Amino acid sequence: MRWIGAAVLLAMASCATDAHRRDAIDAPFAPTGDAARGREVFASRDVGRCILCHGAPGIEGAGNVGPSLAGVASRLTTGQIRLRIADITRVNPDAVMPTFHRVEGMVRVAPEYRGKPALDAQQVEDVVAWLATLK
């Protein structure tokens, strides 16, 4: 009977691990991220445009359409943050937030931007590095 209990616990742990994998991209897109550059990308109205919707500590003139990112690193792992930046639709298919690194399956994209991510791999990792400081 004990082996049945152990098997159930192992199956539950496996499901939790699989759920985490669906809710995160653990492998970085670039070797390292730079938090200072990530803050710049976040705050830029020309590059990341995150500031248009999200507030964050120390960022003036931020929007309030999306949730505040204060304390985001206390709630999400770096892999979960990475997934939300790269392709929020994997977490919420109806999200208003754009995907910043996914290019396949995009339909409303101007021809000059088709096949190009809004943020390159290094920019994604820089933003992840900065958001990871927001505990």
Domain count, the chain: 1
Tokens representing 11 are 């199956």
What is the Cα–Cα distance from 43 to 65, expressed in whole angstroms?
Answer: 15
What is the Cα–Cα distance from 87 to 66, expressed in whole angstroms?
Answer: 15
- Around Cβ 96, how many Cβ atoms within 10 Å? 9
* Mean pLDDT per 10-residue section of the chain, whose length is 135 residues: 41 43 91 98 95 94 92 98 97 93 88 92 98 98
Give the CATH number for residue 51: 1.10.760.10
What is the Cα–Cα distance from 90 to 80, expressed in whole angstroms?
Answer: 11
Show the domain range for 107: 2-131
CB 112 within 8 Å of CB 37: no
Task: Please report the pLDDT score of residue 9 as a whole number.
Answer: 36
